[in-house]
Amino acid sequence: MILITGGAGYIGSHLAMALLESGNDIVIFDSLELGHIEIINILKKYGNVKFIQGNLKNIDDIRGVFLVNKIDSVVHFAAYSQVAESVNNPQKYYYNNVYGTLNLLNAMKEFGVNKIVFSSTAATYGEPEYVPIDENHPQRPINAYGNSKLMVERIMDDYDRAYGIKSVRLRYFNVAGADSKARIGEWHEPETHLIPNILKADENKTFKMFGTDYDTPDGTCVRDYINVEDLANAHIKALEYLNRSGKTDYFNLGTGQGDSVKDVFNACEDVLGRKVPLEICPRRAGDPAKLVADNKKALSILGWKPEKTLFDSINSANEWEKRLAKIKSGIVL
């Protein structure tokens, strides 16, 4: 069985759906602090999911999972991921993201499980020295979130050398979109991400564009928006890679293409077929001007390449927003 920590969250649930659809049995471990039981109940309609509520900070919670399930490999999503929050409250990030992962790795070691795919991030690179960013770019995070993920990457190197636990670290750029059948999608409370915030904006809630004076062609930040289904597929390729005795490694997951905040805003207006109320605001602290992935390594070693466009991501996110509104009001599951 494959264990997914954080499988009730945004990216973890999309991997869960993809694994279920290809007939895998999975165990989801999630505290439900940020994940949603509704997402678990939806996933249960599509295959054999065992759900265990627990917290990685409690070693016994995670030991219990290995004790009663035959786990072959782990995909580890469970983490806090808000950059601004991590700056104000680093304790929360190190305790959860680093200590929690240590508990997971120690349970794996105890039960002889030696394959893990880990959600890392482009935030481990810090302020880019060049773009597109390849995997050899220096890793100098500029916030506690990026530091917490980089520390785990380093721990994983040491756990491979000493205990033979093989890891694949996937460094995500900007994850976007939802399940193409709108069954699951992004559900953060509160929402801070660009695409859902544009889609949710209306006369009562203006969309705030953070910074139009960056050194970029149209003055707004440029990001690499990678579709969540493409991303889920990369995790499957990473598991396959580990199953054929792949060595510990790390890969960027992005499209290799940059889109500005204004590009995304215009594309959202096209998908919605209406104008979105817009307010130009000062820069948000900690936003680099441009983050774009060099994704060639994932293609050459994992055989992964993204297939969906920014339009696909916005379109699926928009369909999901409509469904989410119904789920929240109790109309549908």
- Beta partners for residue 249, in sequence order: 168
Q: Are 78 and 11 in contact (CB under 8 A)?
A: no
Residue 178 engages ligand UDP in binding (rule: CB under 6 A): no
Considering beta carbons, is residue 105 or 194 the nearer one to ligand UDP? 194
Q: Alpha helices, DSSP H only, in the chain?
A: 10-21, 37-43, 59-68, 83-88, 90-93, 100-111, 144-163, 194-200, 228-243, 261-272, 296-297, 310-328
Taking CB atoms, the residue at the shortest distance from ligand UDP is 221
**Cα–Cα distance measured from residue 158 to residue 289, given in angstroms and rounded to the nearest whole number:** 33
How far, in Å, are 145, 179, 210 from residue 286 at the CA level? Answer: 12, 30, 11
List the catalytic residue out of 10, 80, 125, 145: 145
Q: Residues 128-167: x/- map of binding to ligand UDP (CB under 6 A)?
A: ----------------------------------------
Residue 111 engages ligand UDP in binding (rule: CB under 6 A): no
Q: Residues 185-224: x/- map of binding to ligand UDP (CB under 6 A)?
A: -------xxx--x----------xxx----------x-x-
What is the sign of the dihedral through the CA atoms of 200, 201, 205 and 209?
positive
Among 31, 174, 248, 252, binds ligand UDP (CB under 6 A): 174
**Cα–Cα distance measured from residue 10 to residue 318, given in angstroms and rounded to the nearest whole number:** 15
Residue 95 engages ligand UDP in binding (rule: CB under 6 A): no
Active site residue 163: no
Residue 287 engages ligand UDP in binding (rule: CB under 6 A): yes
User: Least distance (Å) from ligand UDP to the CB of residue 222?
Assistant: 8
Coil, helix or strand at residue 173: coil
Q: Are 176 and 225 in contact (CB under 8 A)?
A: yes
User: How many residues contact ligand UDP, by CB under 6 A?
Assistant: 13
Q: Residues 223-262: x/- map of binding to ligand UDP (CB under 6 A)?
A: x-------------------------------------x-
Q: Using the 8-state DSSP alphabet, how is residue 35 labeled?
A: S
Amino acid present at 199: L
User: Least distance (Å) from ligand UDP to the CB of residue 265?
Assistant: 8
Active site residues: 145
Binding site for ligand UDP (CB under 6 A): 174, 192-194, 197, 208-210, 221, 223, 261, 284, 287
